[in-house]
Amino acid sequence: MLDVKTELQKFAKDGQFLDAHYEELLEQYPEQWVAVFDEQVVGASFDFDQLLDDLKARGLPLGRTVIEKVSAENEVWILAVQ
């Protein structure tokens, strides 16, 4: 059974990891979608759908993975994953 509180805490830590390492990630993955799970980069791609397909194929839980486009531009994206 999934412990929602624990999963939310993990998701928040992954978001904090991404924020704390944003500049490094921008250098390594400029203008790419980056996926973080368990405070590790688990994927990156210029193509969002390709990244999702790769994560699914590897069995990563999409709903519990932080995905953000790292960009020098300040963009806001709201994504719904089914």
pLDDT tens, 53-74?
Answer: 999 999 999 999 999 999 988 7
Q: What is the pLDDT of residue 41?
A: 98
The CA distance from 16 to 18, in Å, is 5
Q: How far is CA 42 from CA 1, 2, 78, in A?
A: 24, 21, 21
Q: Domains in the chain: how many in total?
A: 1
Residue at 81 is within a domain:
no
Given a cut of 90, whether residue 80 has pLDDT beyond it is no
- The first and second tokens of residue 21, run together, are 């390492």
Residue at 46 is within a domain:
yes
pLDDT tens, 24-51?
Answer: 999 999 999 999 999 999 999 999 999 9
Residue at 77 is within a domain:
no
Residue at 82 is within a domain:
no
Q: What is the pTM of this model?
A: 0.83
Residue at 26 is within a domain:
yes
Residue at 60 is within a domain:
yes
